Amino acid sequence: MPQGRDQAGGFAELFGSLADGLGTLVTQHIQLARLELSAEARAVGGQAAKLFVFAPFVLIGYLFLCAALASWLSRWLGWSGSLLLVGVVNVLVGGVGIALALRALNRRKGLGRSVEELKETASVLTRVTDRPAPNPPSGLEVVRGR
């Protein structure tokens, strides 16, 4: 009988170690996700700040260039025709640019490394749980009261 209790104690220790290991693994996954999110937020925030600082200069310069182009084209197309042509070209170029930017955003994987780590962990856990359960050692029934 003492041997059954030793084996049951060994299982309890193994189960406790497994639970501790899983808890540590989940904690590390959360920490990794947090680090990736904060790094991503800093990078995006810095780039967004640059956009907000320089965008007005580009916009004003662009408006002057469009006005100059429309003025030049008005010699042949009149003011209405030149403004229409410049407007249509701007809308087309802007639409293509927005479509390309949206496509690039859709391809971007947020939390790439965390997702890969979680998939790997899930794969390992699936392999472990798909194995047939080992036969309990003799004496375990004694501890359970059977």
For the stretch 45-75, pLDDT in tens is 888 888 899 999 999 999 999 999 999 999 9
CB 82 within 8 A of CB 70: yes
CB 141 within 8 A of CB 7: no
10-28 average pLDDT score = 84
Rounded Cα–Cα distance for residues 42 and 58 (Å) = 24
Q: Residue ranges per domain, the chain?
A: 2-144
Angle at 143 between CA 138 and CA 145, to 5 degrees: 110
For residue 80, report the phi and psi dihedrals to the nearest 5 degrees: -60, -45
